[in-house]
Amino acid sequence: MKRSLLVLAVAALVVWMGCSKKVEPPKEIQFFNCDTLDGVLTEGVAVVDTQNSAEGTGSLKIASAQPVTLPLFEIKMPGDGAKFTLRYKMKVKDYSGDAYGQLDFNYGSGGKQQPNNYPTAMGGTSDWQQREISYTVQRGQKVSSIVFSLILNGSGTVWVDDVHLIRAPLPE
């Protein structure tokens, strides 16, 4: 009797595991190495600096004399709900305000959302630090593009490198 119950329990577990939906792991959907201006939206402002890099081959350098918002990259991606995470490395020198990355989620319907990412701000002088912005787009919301911009609220020099956009499906 005990053996029959054990066999039945194991069989039920195997059937349940086979029927349950597996959640896909997070997947990198875009990478910008920042050692060229390929894909950079503000080519006249951002320049490639081969002397300063978080990963060794170059970075984008922006010298700012006044506050400005600089769109850097646009990722075109029709898509549905998911958690999006942007990881990037940033360095500042003699920066007199706050510098940080921002994501704009643009929807096919014309709407736009920006996650609150002020905690990633840097100022003064600092070596390379990894920064991260995450935002969850709900099911049924169709994202047409995501724009990564730098918000520069001051003056000084900012470098950006090693930009990764990661998409994680929402759990069922």
* Residues pairing with 13 in the sheet: none
Query: Residue 153's domain spans which residues?
Result: 24-169
* Residues 56-72 pLDDT 10s: 899 999 999 999 999 99
- Looking at the chain, the whole-number percentage of residues with pLDDT higher than 90 is 58
Give the strand pairing for 47-49 and 59-64: antiparallel
- In the chain, the N- to C-terminal Cα span, in Å, equals 37
Residue of 138 and 50 predicted with greater confidence: 50
Q: Give the CATH number of the domain where residue 127 resides.
A: 2.60.120.260
In tens, the pLDDT along 103-139 reads: 999 887 777 787 766 677 999 999 999 999 999 988 8
Residue 7 lies inside a defined structural domain of this protein: no
Inside any domain, residue 9: no
Look at the chain and report how many structural domains it folds into: 1
pTM over 0.75: yes
Element (H, E) at 62: strand 59-64
| Residue 125 in domain | yes
Asked whether the CA dihedral 19, 142, 90, 124 is positive or negative, the reply is: negative
Mean pLDDT of the chain: 85
